[in-house]
C-alpha cells in the first residue's frame, strides 16, 4: 500500500442517510401543504358563517360585507381569515392616520 491511495468508493450506507433525509423532508412538505389546505378550507367555512351576521355585527369586529365578498373571490388554497386580518388591520391604520390628522 502506498501513501497515496487513489481508491475512493462510496459505500451504499453513506448514501442512504442523505436519501432518507430527502424523502423525510418531502413527506413533511407534503404534510405541511395538506395541513395548510385543510386549514384554509376550514377557515373558508367559518367566513361563510360570518356572512350570516348583520352589518352591525360585522362592523363591531371591524369588517364590512364587502370585505367578505373580497375574500370569497380568492382562490381555494388561500386562507381567507389571513386576508380578513390584513384588510381589518389596514382599515384600523387608516382610521388612526385620519384621527392623527384631525387631532
Q: Give the C-alpha separation, 100 to 103, whole Å.
A: 5
Task: Give the CA angle between residues 75, 81, 87 to the nearest 5°.
Answer: 95
Cβ-Cβ contacts under 8 Å for 87 (sequence gap 6 or more)? 63, 67, 70, 71
Q: What is the pTM of this model?
A: 0.59
Domain ranges of the chain: 16-102
96 or 22, which is more confident: 96
CA 44 to the chain's CA centroid: 13
Q: Is the pLDDT of residue 9 over 60?
A: no
- Percent of the chain scored above 90 by pLDDT? 26
pLDDT of residue 43: 86
Q: Kindly indicate the confidence band of residue 65, based on its pLDDT and cuts at 50, 70 and 90.
A: very high
Amino acid at each position: 500500500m502506498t501513501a497515496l491511495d487513489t481508491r475512493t468508493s462510496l459505500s451504499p450506507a453513506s448514501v442512504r442517510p442523505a436519501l432518507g433525509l430527502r424523502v423525510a423532508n418531502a413527506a413533511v412538505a407534503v404534510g405541511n401543504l395538506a395541513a395548510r389546505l385543510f386549514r384554509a378550507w376550514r377557515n373558508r367555512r367559518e367566513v361563510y358563517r360570518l356572512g350570516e351576521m348583520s352589518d352591525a355585527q360585522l362592523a363591531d369586529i371591524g369588517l364590512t360585507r364587502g370585505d367578505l365578498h373580497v375574500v370569497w373571490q380568492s382562490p381555494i388554497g388561500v386562507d381567507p381569515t389571513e386576508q380578513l386580518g390584513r384588510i381589518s388591520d389596514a382599515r384600523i391604520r387608516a382610521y388612526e392616520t385620519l384621527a392623527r390628522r384631525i387631532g
